[in-house]
Structure 1
Amino acid sequence: MALDTKPRPVAPEGSSVEDFPVPTGREENWRFTPLSRLRGLHDGTAPATGDVSVEVSAAPEVTVETVGRDDPRIGEAYVAADRVAAQAYASFEKATVITVPREAVASTPTVVTLRGDRQVTAYGHIVIAVEPMAEAVVVLDHQGSAVYADNVEFVVGDGATLKVVSLQDWADDAVHVSHHHARLGRDATFKSFVVTLGGDLVRLAPSVTYTGRGGDADLSGLYFVDAGQHIEHRLLVDHSVPDCRSNVDYRGALQGDEAHAVWIGDVIIRVEATGTDTYELNRNLILTDGARADSVPNLEILTGEVAGAGHASASGRLDDEHTFYLQARGIPYDEARRLVIRGFFAQLIAKIEVDEVRDRVLAAVEAELAP
């Protein structure tokens, strides 16, 4: 048998596939995930059988490259969080590297469209590097059908600003397990907005680390879960340097039998991270019987010198008082219900700065609420 001589990116120590045992479902980070629906992404029985196409419509100030596994820019922000992330890192063949040059301000959003045209198993990797003092908006748009695992690295340089919108608008039979790794420099700003609508099973794990003072991360998310869908978001914000900020706000609505949403929010404030200011919030609307939301905010504080730290979580049905108030003013119940749900999402959707994407998300929510 011929030896595999393909170059591999140098992964951080302790992040190879063999470093992670095959999940059984009893582990804390897998206990909510239906492993049988991962189609082998978690246990090594899902070799790549095709590709998810990557098309980039880039701002004129931005450069886009397709590179091999040995490119030195790969792995700069990557940290293997679990076996699927490690498997994706070990399995991809080509990576897309998007670079915003130093002090450049992108004049238009850069749109990355990832599309599975048939039921294939694939692994991917994207690096988005915003050099010091630069600014950019990037949209990741996932469409079609695939069994797909990938890692996305966001490297935000000193004083730079990166705004990302990630749309998971897959076909109903898609499986997607993705890890977003953001590394922020001094006085860097990172704003992430995740919208998860489609797919049979989608598990997205964004993480943020800081390398200098003044880093600011804002992580927002919206999800609408229908019958039989499993949508899972697992966030980690690791405050390890002083005077940084993070804010997390994820909101979801669920309807239909066995609609299942999982949200895990982990924030760590390490001993050396004095002056940290952080807050995380998750809210879920349960619209029908048979739907279930699991929400677990975790806050670990290892220093007494913080500017602010808190978390909150709430899951429940529509407030009868809100719908009654609208009905008392002559609005039929179905329309009153839609108005309340729109209001639940409105403040969050307003944070999407790309008009076309905001309109698309609004239309998707309206379609979910249609009779």
Structure 2
Amino acid sequence: MTATTQAPREAPGSSAHTDGQWGKAPVQTRSERFRSYDPALFETPTGREIAWKHTPVAVAAPLFEDAAGDEGAVSVTVNGPFAAAGLPVGTAPRGEAFEPEDLPSAIAWTRAAEALYLSIPADAEPEAPVEIVFAGGGAGLRAHAHIVVEAGTNSRATVVLRHVGSARFAQNVEILVRDGAQLELVTVQTWDDDAVHLAAHQARVGRDATLRHTIASFGGALVRVNPSVELAGTGASGHLYGLSFSDAGQHIESQVYLHHKGAETLGDVLYKGALQGTNARSVWVGDVLIGPKAVGTDSYEANRNLVLTEGARADSIPNLEIETGDIRGAGHASATGRFDEEQLFYLQARGIPEDEARRMVVLGFLAEIVQKISVAPLQDELLALIERELEERNAE
């Protein structure tokens, strides 16, 4: 008898699963997502895939095209105690901790022939932060970049990435925190309202090392910054924070992945967002994986959203996967709501006008993230940006 292979039966009107196709199991966790440096191996997103189902793919579509960037689309300026150098594809440490998991990231990898490489020497403890400014040259101009930030053994440093102007920008940020190092990286998005920014941050944290990673997003039509952090060494710590303020028509998104790989690792994830205006949108997806060797892990993730007006929407999806029973603790939480009327009543009962009371509540809500940043002038700047957003609402 000759063996035959029968194709999967299809019900009338049915279609293949968006993440698995016929005969394939769908991707269940972030760790199972396909990765490759070759853009040709990725299918063009349609919005049905698990990684893109919450993203406005029509807005992101120009960054799905594997084409060279436009001249003058994004200029780069580095300020601070260390100079940056170029790092071609195939030159270490580029690619040590980064492998694209979506099409724009793979295109950015290949199109950025030379990465911007910031190396912080071992044992260095600069007083001033390193600031890298990405300035968009105009709406519709397309650019790609790959940045490598390496914190040497036992170093202590802060790096701030700033994004201003307008462009269509696909950006990779590779972060290497060597043993015993402490690195704080803050990425601030104050784009013009028509900018599109798709960023993939991938980090590896070594033994007894600490990464503090903060995202602060205010401007742009579409800003999607996805951090992926691997706590590889014993005693590694990852503190992932996020702050966003989404206005009418804006889409701000973060898909967070924290992988506890080493033993005795610590994870702290907290993202907060405020939304105001029709079609203001925020998306947060938090994935935590505690691997089989991550004994003694302590991990917690949370997302909080404050909806200020009708027509705004926040999506919040926490996920937790545990592959060992020998941990200190793990948990996740999510909450989205409107103003606490009791708080407003309490403040108004003490003679504070309603608009001022609302301002105080929003500032108090978001300030928790701002205060986690070690750079005092940047704290003041972010608080001022929140104030400006609230003033614009009151002026409407």
2:76 is equivalent to residue 54 of structure 1: yes
> What is the deviation of 1:77?
1.4
Q: Is the counterpart of residue 92 in structure 1 residue 112 in structure 2?
A: yes
- Whether 1:260 and 2:304 are equivalent positions in the alignment is no
C-alpha contact 1:115 1:143 (8 A) present in aligned 2:
yes
Determine the structure 2 residue equivalent to 1:6: none
User: Are 2:167 and 1:146 equivalent residues in the alignment?
Assistant: yes
Counterpart CA distance in 2 for 1:86 and 1:66 is 19
How far is 1:45 from its partner? 5.7
SS of residue matched to 2:85:
strand
Is 1:20–2:42 an aligned residue pair? yes
Aligned to 2:56: 34
Matched residue type, 2:138: R
Match of 1:71 in 2: 91
Higher mean alpha-carbon deviation, 86-95 vs 249-258, is at 86-95
**1: CA distance between counterparts of 2:320 and 2:51?**
16
AA aligned opposite 1:156: V
Deviation at 1:82, TM superposition (A): 1.3
Secondary structure of 2:165's partner? Answer: strand
Q: Does the CA contact (< 8 Å) of 1:58 and 1:64 recur in 2?
A: no
Q: Is the Cα–Cα contact under 8 Å of residues 40 and 46 in structure 1 kept in the other structure?
A: no
**After superposition, what is the alpha-carbon deviation per residue over 1:27-82, rounded to whole angstroms, capped at 9, x for unaligned?**
1111001110014212x2654122411100121xx342133334322111112121
Does structure 2 retain, via aligned residues, the 8 Å contact 1:39–1:147? no
CA distance in 2, matches of 1:19, 1:210: 28
In structure 2, the partner of 1:158 is: 179
Deviations 1:312-370 (A, max 9, x none): 00001000000000011111111111111111012221111112211110100000111
Instruction: Give the distance between the partners of 1:185 and 1:35, measured in 2 at CA.
Output: 35
- 2:369 aligned with 1:348, yes or no? yes
More strand by proportion, 1 or 2?
Answer: 1
Aligned-CA RMSD value: 1.4
SS of match in other structure, 1:126? strand
**Code of the aligned partner of 2:332:** H
- One-letter amino acid matched to 1:236: Y
Matched, 1:302 2:323: yes
Q: Structure 1 length as normaliser, TM-score?
A: 0.93
User: Deviation per CA, 1:243-299, whole angstroms, max 9, x where unpaired?
Assistant: 111100000000000001000000001112111110001000010000000000000
For 1:246 and 1:234, the matched residues in 2 are separated by: 16
Whether contact under 8 Å (2:66, 2:107) holds in the other structure is: no
| Percent sequence identity over aligned pairs | 45
- Is 1:236 the counterpart of 2:274? The answer is no
Partner of 2:20: none
Partner Cα separation in structure 1 for residue 110 and residue 370 of structure 2: 36
Amino acid at match of 1:124: A
For 1:13 and 1:311, the matched residues in 2 are separated by: 26
TM-score by length of 2: 0.88
**What is the rounded CA distance, in whole Å, between the counterparts of 2:85 and 2:244 in structure 1?**
31
Report the Cα distance in structure 2 between the residues aligned to 1:181 and 1:200, rounded to whole angstroms.
23
Task: Tell me the amino acid that sits aligned with residue 49 of structure 2.
Answer: E
Once structures 1 and 2 are overlaid, which stretch shifts more, 137-146 or 32-41?
Answer: 32-41
C-alpha separation in 2, matches of 1:143 and 1:296: 29
Counterpart of 1:55 in structure 2: which amino acid? T
- How many Å apart are 1:13 and its aligned residue? 7.4
The higher radius of gyration belongs to 2
In structure 2, the residue matched to 1:114 is 134
